[in-house]
Amino acid sequence: MGGPFDAITDTIFADKSVLTEDYQPDEILERDEEIEEYRNALKDVLFGRSPQNIFLYGKAGLGKTAVTNYMMDALTEEIQQRPEADALHVHEQNCNGKTVFMVVRALVNDLRGPDGETFPKRGLGTGDAFGALYEELDTTGGTHLVVFDEIDHLDDVDTLLYELPRARSIGHITDSRVGVIGISNNYTFRQQLSAKVKDTLMETEISFSPYSADELRAILEERAENALKDDGYDSSAIAMAAALAARDMGNARQAIDLLRVGAEVAENQGEFRVTDEHIERARERVQRGRLSDKIRDQTTHAQLVLETLAHLEDDGETPARAKEIYELYQNVAESWANEPLTTVRSVHSHLSDLRMLGFLKRYERNEGLSGGQYYEFELDDLDPELVFDTREDIEDVAGDS
């Protein structure tokens, strides 16, 4: 009697990793202008000068992280050939759901290495963490580029961006140089910073626009050529995936996901060539995954508010008023060991933002002199189970870190 895998003898993929999110291509396509701006902003490092601060803006899937990784690798390699340059150290931190203390502590431990003394989680404050960071930076020496991904999600970001970029100018460090690279999905992030932080940063801004259908097609053709076996796709399927993604958000990640899932659909059907039909069937599956990614892109408290609406929807208690949502929200936040926001107004602000992002519907109610005017909210064609599953995944990852 054969095993359950005996019949699986062939695959459509030559190298499936090419279609994964963490794949780093040798060449970045359709981002020449952004790479040129990045190159000019980084060139001081080649001559042993203090690096510029750089901020990248654009929605998820537009190549900000991929371009950053490409530029960091290229700069690290080039430094080896430049006698004027100091040793280069690149540090990466994802800020989603983090506090300034958590981020600075992680940088300290990164600099100390696995054999060094771990900076404690409790008992010391943010100022202590910054002090330890400055000491480790000078001990290591050289130039340090610190990449803060999803920096718009960091609590009290003003403190970080006021302290770190000016560390050398005010004497906190003398034997090293630091540059900040911030990556944000929020185009208005800079407007939210305090005036003193804006004056301190003096950063180069690089904006990433959505890809066109032609640009996405070029990216997909290169990926398909490397990921799929010979004759593993129809050109029309590539064009269809590119057009669907361009029409939606201009998102390369979405386009690549459509191709990967389309190839999986074909393979599961015993077919070894991706066609338009396979891309169409992949569309629904990718849509669910994209909604999950959008949820992950929100701040922790915005996610908790959304989870609260999902519970109310699941119990048939929507649409609901903000004060009703706030009562349950407190329980949801505490169930995940998060301290709830303290006012209904703060939750109402998140409700308004979630509505503008397309997660919620809002209804205006007017009960005249007796009840006054107010709003009620409910999910906008969003499956509560998707919200629950995504939130559980997020908390599981946070618990493991």
Q: How far apart are CA 334 and CA 401, in angstroms?
A: 19
Q: How far apart are CA 104 and CA 275, in angstroms?
A: 49
| Beta-bridge partners for 147 | 92, 181
CA distance readout (Å), 108 to 62, 95, 117, 121, 163:
31, 15, 10, 12, 15
3-state secondary structure of 54: strand
| Nearest to 223, CA basis, from 199, 185, 253 | 253
Q: How far apart are CA 189 and CA 34, in angstroms?
A: 19
Whole-prediction pTM value? 0.75
Radius of gyration of the chain (CA): 24
Question: From edge to edge, which strands make up the β-sheet containing 142-149?
Answer: 88-94, 142-149, 176-184, 54-57, 204-207
Q: Which residues of 30-47 are buried (b: 16+ CB within 10 A; e: fewer)?
A: bbeebbebbeebbebbee
Residue count of the chain, please give it.
401
Question: What's CA 382's distance to the chain center, in Å?
Answer: 21
Q: How far apart are CA 97 and CA 227, in angstroms?
A: 34
Contact 206, 172 (CB under 8 A): no
Determine the pLDDT at residue 215. Answer: 97
Determine how β-strand 204-207 pairs with β-strand 176-184: unpaired
Domain at 298-400, CATH class = mainly alpha
Q: Is 324 exposed, middle or buried (0-12, 13-18, 19+ CB in 10 A)?
A: middle
Element (DSSP H or E) covering residue 390? helix 384-400
pLDDT tens, the chain, 401 aa long: 578 888 888 999 999 999 998 899 999 999 999 999 999 999 999 999 999 999 999 988 899 999 999 999 999 999 999 999 999 999 999 998 889 999 999 999 999 999 999 999 999 999 999 999 999 999 999 999 999 999 998 888 999 999 999 999 999 999 999 999 999 988 888 988 999 999 989 999 999 999 999 999 999 999 999 999 999 999 999 999 999 999 988 999 999 999 999 999 999 999 999 999 999 999 988 887 778 888 998 999 999 999 999 999 999 999 999 999 999 999 999 999 999 999 999 999 999 999 988 899 999 888 766 667 889 999 998 899 999 999 999 998 877 66
211 assigned binding-site residue: yes
3-state secondary structure of 361: strand
Token pair, residue 1, equals 């009697």
Query: Which CATH number, 3.40.50.300, 3.40.190.150, 3.40.50.620, 1.10.10.10, labels domain 31-207?
Result: 3.40.50.300
365 assigned binding-site residue: no
Q: What are the start-end ranges of the H helices in 164-321? A: 195-201, 213-227, 235-248, 252-268, 276-296, 300-314
Determine the pLDDT at residue 273. Answer: 96
Q: What are the contacts of 272-278 at 24+ separation with CB within 8 A?
A: 272/10, 272/12, 272/229, 272/232, 273/12, 273/231, 273/232, 273/233, 273/234, 274/12, 274/224, 274/228, 274/232, 274/233, 274/234, 274/237, 275/234, 275/236, 275/237, 276/234, 276/236, 276/237, 276/240, 278/237
Q: Which residues of 250-279 are buried (b: 16+ CB within 10 A; e: fewer)?
A: bbbbbbbbbbbbbbbbbbeeeebebbebbb
Domain regions of the chain by residue span: 31-207, 212-294, 298-400
Look at the domain 212-294 and name its fold. Answer: Helicase, Ruva Protein; domain 3 (1.10.8)
3-state secondary structure of 205: strand
Question: What's CA 355's distance to the chain center, in Å?
Answer: 20
Contact 41, 180 (CB under 8 A): no
